[in-house]
Amino acid sequence: MLALYDITPFTLLDYPGEMACIVWFAGCNMRCVYCHNPDIVKGKGKLEEEKLFAFLKARVGKLTAVVFSGGEPTLNAGLPALVKKVKAMGFKIKLDTNGTRPEALKKLLDEKLLDYVALDYKAPPERMEDITGSAKHDEPFRKSLGMLIEAAARGLAFEVRTTYHADLMTEEELSRIVRDLEKHGFKGTYYIQDIASHGDKTLGHIAKPVRRLAPEKLPKPKGFTIAFRNFPEEKKSK
């Protein structure tokens, strides 16, 4: 049973260079305090698979890609079969994931079902529980990170991203993420993205940050680029 929640019919932002829709999955194994999709995270599947395919059939030749997001899509055992059907329709596939289900991710990669993956690097290990609600997520995340870096070396489009709340995480902690990515041999773009909401619109009812990110405090990475996404003042890549 697929916990399909809803469809965003069109986006130019979520899959670089493609005209895409977003398929949202209900349910998540994390409880990130800044999450701006609490209804999706706590919700149940309400979209029938037949309606999804009716929508996609009507968009063949108009859209070029489908983004699977959530929630956490890899919690669904039926995800590979669904992705296979959608890919057979001619769409490129992007997966947004927290990386906590490396065995599910491996199946998708082994079957060459993914064209683009966005991996959420939530926090350094010592902050994982504070940010996501559990420290147990770090080990499986690291397996997924290594797996995706290897897949990217074989041609997979791959980004790493961290959602940032300046009062919840320091620049020193972000710097540790940068150094960890260097150690793992990450190539590509590491996105630091501003929180999308605050207050009652977030899972943890977090306040709007008082502090601002100071990008000049971050190290210049070796082998990849840091880019800043959705901040009020546009910041340059490092």
pLDDT of residue 232: 82
| Calpha distance 71→27 (Å, rounded) | 5
Of the candidates 196, 15, 235, the one whose C-alpha atom is nearest the C-alpha of residue 118 is 15
How many Å apart are CA 177 and CA 168, to the nearest integer?
15
Does the bond joining 188 to the residue before it have cis omega, within 30 degrees of 0? Answer: no
- Give the list of residues 6+ apart from residue 43 with CB closer than 8 angstroms, or none: 5, 26, 27
pLDDT digits (tens, 9 = 90+) for 137-185: 999 999 999 999 999 999 999 999 999 999 999 999 999 999 999 999 9
Q: Are 82 and 53 in contact, with CB atoms under 8 Å apart? A: no
What are 47-87's pLDDT values in tens digits? Answer: 999 999 999 999 999 999 999 999 999 999 999 999 999 99
Q: Say whether pLDDT at 233 is over 80.
A: no
Per-residue confidence (pLDDT) for residue 234, from 0 to 100: 56
Helix extents (H) in 74-197:
79-88, 102-110, 128-132, 138-153, 171-184
CA distance linking residue 85 with residue 111, whole number of Å? 13
C-alpha to C-alpha distance for 125 and 18, rounded to whole angstroms: 34
Phi/psi class of residue 136: alpha, beta or left (left: φ > 0; alpha: ψ in -120 to 50)? alpha
pLDDT, average across residues 88-112: 98
Cross-strand bridge partners of residue 153: none
Task: Please tell me whether residue 224 adopts helix, strand or coil conformation.
Answer: strand
65, 20 Cβ separation under 8 angstroms: yes
**Hey, what CATH class is 4-229 in?**
alpha beta
Question: C-alpha distances in angstroms, 29 versus 42, 98, 136?
Answer: 10, 9, 11
Query: How far out from the chain centre does Cα 181 lie?
Result: 16
> For the chain, what are the domain ranges?
4-229
Pairing of strands 188-194, 224-229: parallel
| Predicted local confidence at residue 238, as pLDDT | 67
Decide: 32 and 122 in contact? Cβ < 8 Å.
Answer: yes
Which residue bears the tokens 């960890």?
180
Q: Is the pLDDT of residue 237 over 80?
A: no
pLDDT at residue 1 in the model: 73
2-35 residue pLDDT tens: 999 999 999 999 999 999 999 999 999 999 999 9
Which tens digits make up the pLDDT trace of 152-165? 999 999 999 999 99
Contacts of residue 201, Cβ cutoff 8 Å, sequence gap at least 6: 36, 38
